[in-house]
Structure 1
Amino acid sequence: MKILVTGAAGFIGYHLCELLLKQGHKVVGLDNINDYYDVSLKYDRLKQLGIAREKAEVFNKPVVSSLHPDSFSFVRMNLEDRNALPLLFGTEHFDKVCNLAAQAGVRYSLENPEAYVDSNLVGFLNILECCRNHKIKHLVYASSSSVYGLNKEIPFKVEHNVDNPISLYAATKKSNELMAHTYSHLFDIPTTGLRFFTVYGPWGRPDMAMFLFTEAIVNDKPIKVFNYGKMERDFTYIDDIVEGVARIMNQETASLAQADKYRLYNIGNNNSVKLMDFIQQIEQNLGKEAQKEMLPIQPGDVEKTWANVDDLIADYDYQPNTDVSIGVKSFIDWYLDYYGKTVS
């Protein structure tokens, strides 16, 4: 198939492109490479896919990978560009689309709400319109566990009420689900929303806990432990995540009944890990104890997440089987190598 992956320079997007290429698909990666975090990391991810930085820096100019010249290309583009994105769809004739591009981050949405409206709402509408007008066979898109808000029922199930988001980021993701439902209903477009739970692993985002903790410990700085450490997360290793996404992308959608055209799934590790246990795993792998600054919970944060992924297991034989001890070691090995760090 020919697949568009938006957010291709991002953490999950990069890993998904790599897997889809290994499976023999043709992939077009799209990303605007914004400066929410260090763009060098984004360009280095693209370099792993064969796209040189100087080629990827130019907007709206598709470039072909030197590593995968017949199967991977990249274009720097804003999702909300209502002229450029339809032209890309009209030129490339995609079979399927995986929309991972979004302005990420719960806390940052308190500081820069406009960025979330532009990318997550206007950009997603543009994707939906392009899928409608170019007969895309299946749109898979990133939602988030943050839509559950202050839900107290554990583990989180897709059937639970998600009408009370506690951050603008969560509100935009809930809006994406509603928008996708409308387009599936009105225009017969198969859409699948994936509520991602805390994803970690090599090439991870610098604003995520795994990265922040590791960087602080290596550099002899205190780590910020919110809610005084009384937090739990469904930490999910990146390989398990993209394997699940790829299984959905590879499904034949032509036979889907009308009632199945709109679907939502949790995608996580199917268990919850205490934050302090997670920190301990990092400490053990670094051979160094963290200096801990215990702080109250942050606005927009929740105390515990835990994904019920029974539906994804039943429908796709999804198997999140990477133990947190293995995943943490893999990240730290990558971090030390990528940044040329040693632990003293």
Structure 2
Amino acid sequence: MTDAECTLRHLVGIDVNMAFAAGANGLNVGLGEATHVTNPVFDPKVPGSWLVDLSHVDLSRVKVGKEWVELDGSLLPSPFTPKGERPEGPAWYATPTVAYAVELGYEVRPTEAWVRRESGRYLDSWYKRLRDAYLATMADLGVEDDLTPEDFLAAMDGYKVRDPELAIVVSAVKATVKGGLGKLRERPRGEGWRPGEPWRALSRPTWRPDIRAAVISRTRINLHRKIVKHAAFTGQYPIAILSDCVVYAAGGPSPLDFLPYREGKPLPGGFKLGINPGLVKHEGTQEVLWGEEVREKFNAPELNLARYIKDGTVTDADNGE
């Protein structure tokens, strides 16, 4: 944390609702066979995997909308590597990731790619059914999709105890999203499988790790775009990030103590409180001293606080991812 952040009292976590479902919404994915091409011109409309060097993308100077902005790149994670470090050379990236590099204002020159010219929004109907089930169940639990930020935070507080059975339904919807995407790259399940041998899932039409990779890519980029937008407008940078959760230092315990709402309206393109997939909710709040104490206790300066922000319980040290 920076010196300025250490003067604040709270660490506040926000979590993206149904983040991976939102990442699947409207996503153009390959429907036909993959074709290998060399030295292709990148096309953001073509689903695929591209071998390209993105190490030149400098997060200290990026385009936000149509304008170049100066940021503290050392406080922003790279969206191009699993641990947020700047890439050191070429790697394979799904189309949404490469498109984001272009969006940030940088030229890309892939050396090869596997692309699928026939494409469509294959996951849309799946997403809509799960979204509708999620919103209807949350409405039954008292969390409507048209609440003010203050009313939304109040409605979310303790919603699971209002009707434990309905809360199980919410968990089931979320598990369906996770399980559905996991099926696209199903691992061996025993059955006498040995390393080097094919397993049953490989022969199924639902074996589509490329679609799973595209959803993960788009979900990660959606979050990073909001983080950059927030930093450009407020000068605030995340303390920790975990998949769909972001932690910021704040003077108060509520997300409204750092989110730049003006007359009830959020920053365009930034974080917005609400129950719809892709919007954010309050994940949890701890004191700044808690963060320093747990890192010291586990002798883990890179301990990812986003993993434990919900209730503050740290069961074991992690590797910072």
TM-score range, shorter chain: under 0.3
Question: What's the TM-score, normalizing by structure 1?
Answer: 0.25
Question: What's the TM-score, normalizing by structure 2?
Answer: 0.26
> Which has the larger share of helix?
1
